[in-house]
Structure 1
Amino acid sequence: MTQPKVIALFPEASYGAALNCVGIAQQLRSLGARPVFICHPGFRGVFAEYGFPEYPLPTLGSEGQTDWTDFINRHQDAFRQTPLEQIKSYIGPTWDAIVDTAIAAEEPLRQLLAQLKPAAIVLDNVVMFPAIANAGVPWVRIISCAETELPDAAVPPYLSGCRGEPGPDWMLFAEKYQKAVAPAHRRMNAFLAECGLKARPSGEFLESSPFLNLLLSPDAVRFEREKPLDPATHVYLNGCVRQEAPYPLPAFATHRDAALILVSFGSLGAMDVSMIKRMIGVFEDMPYRFIVNVGPWRDDYARVPDNVFLESWFPQPSVVEQASLFIHHGGNNSFCEALYYGVPSLIMPYCWDGHDNARRAQDVGVGQRIDRYEWTDAVLKTAVASLLDDAVMRQRLRDNAKLMKQSHGVAVAAKAIVDLL
């Protein structure tokens, strides 16, 4: 019998990218392929939970390499800053750390790919790993961050949170960004040259794949590009949501029939216990039910109101499907899941493409943005109530959700990957 084709998926060390890849891997498996995951040691068990073989890269967790939890702890103060201010305090240092990771991963990744002998490699990351480009098999790039990751003259600068119309703010951000990332970019280009690959243009760390590029961006938030992407190699998935087990809602002591609001700021945002406690204090006086993802910090919450339920982890898509509103950080997975189920977003961004998604949600009328820290009780209450009561927005979201479900992005992604073989 013919052995199933091995397809290696290599997501970055974030749950958004990891779980997005899980959805595609589920479909690949149903098509008869054998998906396997290459991952950071800290994500050991995440993919096995869904029944996939996983191969952690040991060098990424060794002494001297970037510990992302420690990195975020050292840069948390930057989350209170504007995107423009974060260029120096957070974006520049983050690119330095990402380049360090790529360099450290090169040799163990090359050896692992030689061992696995995949028929194709799927990369969901923001930086090139030369071992992938040099593996001699087709490789696929997934753009699971905001669409702004792919530059275009008609698209706001990546990570800027700028409005969709070009203006002086675009130019100012781009100039400061190029200057801040220049040292990391020079190191990256030198590394690429050592590995026999071409240098990247200023500010860019990863090229489009010549084989296939998959973009999560749904129709509702897509940009009109000055230079359209080549449809032969760039496929819009119109969302890409994994299959999860049903989530039975907890029994609330009060407001049992009230609207359900999900609150989740991702694995990094859950660190901000004081901010989430402040929000819970406001939720107590509101006539709704709240499910709040607090990550591994559950024990830090001594008192919890009757209309609030805290959870360390849950199958997020299954909860979003039952919610009337999703309060989140603007991560692309969370944003796409809200759109997929027709749920409005209240976005409180703090870093990376969360700023871009927050601005886009407000610009196209699928949600609102408020500052993560500079809000009053009245501002938060008003934002929640207005989103729940906006009938026009909710109809717009229902129409878009219908289209996204009909598109079945995970199946489109899996078929496009298998077709490469």
Structure 2
Amino acid sequence: MTPKTFAFFPEAAFGPALNSVGIAQAVERMGHKAVFLSDPGFVDVYKGYGFEAHAVNLSAPMPPEQMAKFWEDFINGHIPNFRKAPIDQLDNYVKECWEAIVDSAKWAEKDLPSVLAAIKPDVISVDNVILFPAIKQYGKPWVRIISCSENEIEDDAIPPHLSGMSETDTAGHAAFRAKFHEVIKPIHDDYNEFLKTTGEDPYPLGQFFEPSPFMNLLLYPEQVKYHRPEPLNPAQFQYLEGCVRQDAPYEVPTFKANTDGPLLYISFGSLGAGDTDLLKRLITLIGTTRYRALVNVGDYKDQYADLPDNVLIDSWYPQPSVIPQVDAVIHHGGNNSFTECLYFGKPAIIMSYVWDGHDNAMRVQETGHGFRSDRYEWTDEELIAKIEACLTDADMAAKLATTSAHMQSQNGQEKAAKILVGLTE
């Protein structure tokens, strides 16, 4: 077997990045080489896992620490918008995100041809929500990875991406799509003008990417998939059943109080950690209960003082090693947190604030694997009731056990690696 080179180009966020790391590890276990194309701010993440990584500017060049601060400030500046319903985030947070995403595609086109020429990949995998024309035009198979909610692959019969709506709310679906198209049109027109300069055909309104003709990999497991009238063609779409990566072992520290109490894990991701008021409210509440809690506070550890004896905080946790040891999770609905809870059979309460978190929150509740919760409009009694249900609901526990057993039997990383290698044969 002649070793092949597989390039991965995830979005500059830890969810897509770490999912691609897991697949890349499986590719290398098969005797091939995995390399990363990366926003400059994430190059060291991939190098930390032992991979070769090549910077691709997705914005005006700036030092990595300045780039990290840019996105942190972007999210923190939108905290007031996190109180809004998903449809009411379209003309603020979502609009500004798409403006930045389109700009990133324009910047990437400057670097990608030379980087690809240097790497000479045999297959390129892209985990993003927008087309990078140079990848499509490189002349080798390219794969689209959908690590967000599976409704990123649209179907008029299921809730629109980012809407957080129930499958049955068809009137809501129509209203959301109409407003999304209204808000996005100027940005979409600009993107189509850019596509024209690269020789690509324009996309229909609202579409910024297309399914790959070679293969598309979706993280969603069978038990939470949407009910599509026409299932996605398995020759072109494959589900990875969570594709959970391995991480460093973790030993739960000894708490000063409630040493035998149920253990919770609370995390809103690296960017959501800036919502310190909400995390402090949760910590204060947990301090009055019989539970213990591990809380991910990101880069804001110095803002916390006088913690309850049944709460421990840290700037980062190896989630795939932590979640198996806890009894329930409160998180933001990011797709890694969403799938890791399902993979390990742990009930979740999702307090979403942006993007696919809204869709994942609705799916966890509609499929009986946990609860969605308003991010701010909840009482202590309401949240405690949800936590107690997560700990005691026998039907939910049985459903989670079935889903976990299914996902763990599938080995999504190895499945993905075999699919990618198969494209070179």
Instruction: Note the alpha carbon deviations across 1:150-171, whole angstroms, 9 max, x for none.
Output: 1112210110011011421111
List aligned pairs for 1:217-236, cutoff 5 A.
217-236=220-239
Cα distance in 1, alignment partners of residues 352 and 397 from structure 2: 22
Cα distance in 2, alignment partners of residues 340 and 210 from structure 1: 29
2:317 aligned with 1:320: no
Work out whether residues 42 and 61 of structure 1, in 8 Å CA contact, stay in contact via their aligned partners in 2.
Answer: no
1:82–1:59: structure 2 CA closer, same or farther, 3 Å change rule?
closer
Q: Any unmatched runs of 5+ in structure 2?
A: none
SS at match of 2:165: coil
Instruction: Note the alpha carbon deviations across 1:202-239, whole angstroms, 9 max, x for none.
Output: 10111000001000011110012122211101001111
Instruction: Note the alpha carbon deviations across 1:102-122, whole angstroms, 9 max, x for none.
Output: 101111112111111111101
In structure 2, what is the equivalent of residue 127 of structure 1?
130
Work out whether residues 149 and 158 of structure 1, in 8 Å CA contact, stay in contact via their aligned partners in 2.
Answer: yes
SS at match of 1:247: coil
Q: For residue 291 of structure 1, what is the amino acid of its counterpart?
A: L
2:102 aligned with 1:99: yes
1:197–1:189: structure 2 CA closer, same or farther, 3 Å change rule?
same
Q: For residue 53 of structure 2, what is the amino acid of its counterpart?
A: E
Cα distance in 2, alignment partners of residues 290 and 69 from structure 1: 25
In structure 2, what is the equivalent of residue 181 of structure 1?
184
Q: For residue 194 of structure 2, what is the amino acid of its counterpart?
A: F
Q: For residue 416 of structure 1, what is the amino acid of its counterpart?
A: I
In structure 2, what is the equivalent of residue 416 of structure 1?
419
Work out whether residues 40 and 61 of structure 1, in 8 Å CA contact, stay in contact via their aligned partners in 2.
Answer: no
SS at match of 1:45: helix
Work out whether residues 106 and 130 of structure 1, in 8 Å CA contact, stay in contact via their aligned partners in 2.
Answer: yes
Cα distance in 2, alignment partners of residues 371 and 61 from structure 1: 36
Cα distance in 2, alignment partners of residues 109 and 323 from structure 1: 42
Work out whether residues 267 and 295 of structure 2, in 8 Å CA contact, stay in contact via their aligned partners in 1.
Answer: yes
Q: Cα offset for 1:71? A: 2.2
Q: Cα offset for 1:3? A: 6.0
List aligned pairs for 1:7-406, cutoff 5 A.
7-58=6-57, 60=59, 62=61, 67-406=70-409
| RMSD after superposition | 1.5
Q: For residue 89 of structure 1, what is the amino acid of its counterpart?
A: N
Give the stretch that moved more between structures: 161-170 or 275-284: 161-170
4+ residue segments displaced more than 6 Å: none
Q: For residue 81 of structure 1, what is the amino acid of its counterpart?
A: K
Q: For residue 220 of structure 2, what is the amino acid of its counterpart?
A: S
Work out whether residues 154 and 166 of structure 1, in 8 Å CA contact, stay in contact via their aligned partners in 2.
Answer: no
Give the stretch that moved more between structures: 221-230 or 347-356: 221-230
SS at match of 1:319: helix
Q: Any unmatched runs of 5+ in structure 1?
A: none
Q: Cα offset for 1:63? A: 5.3
Aligned sequence identity (%): 47
Cα distance in 2, alignment partners of residues 10 and 20 from structure 1: 11
Work out whether residues 58 and 105 of structure 2, in 8 Å CA contact, stay in contact via their aligned partners in 1.
Answer: no
Cα distance in 1, alignment partners of residues 108 and 73 from structure 2: 19
Instruction: Note the alpha carbon deviations across 1:5-36, whole angstroms, 9 max, x for none.
Output: 11110000110000110110110010111111
Aligned residues: 420
Q: Cα offset for 1:252? A: 0.7
SS at match of 2:264: strand
Work out whether residues 102 and 129 of structure 1, in 8 Å CA contact, stay in contact via their aligned partners in 2.
Answer: yes
Q: Cα offset for 1:127? A: 0.5
Work out whether residues 6 and 121 of structure 2, in 8 Å CA contact, stay in contact via their aligned partners in 1.
Answer: yes
SS at match of 2:78: helix
1:196–1:76: structure 2 CA closer, same or farther, 3 Å change rule?
same
- In the superposition, the TM-score normalised over structure 2's length comes to 0.96
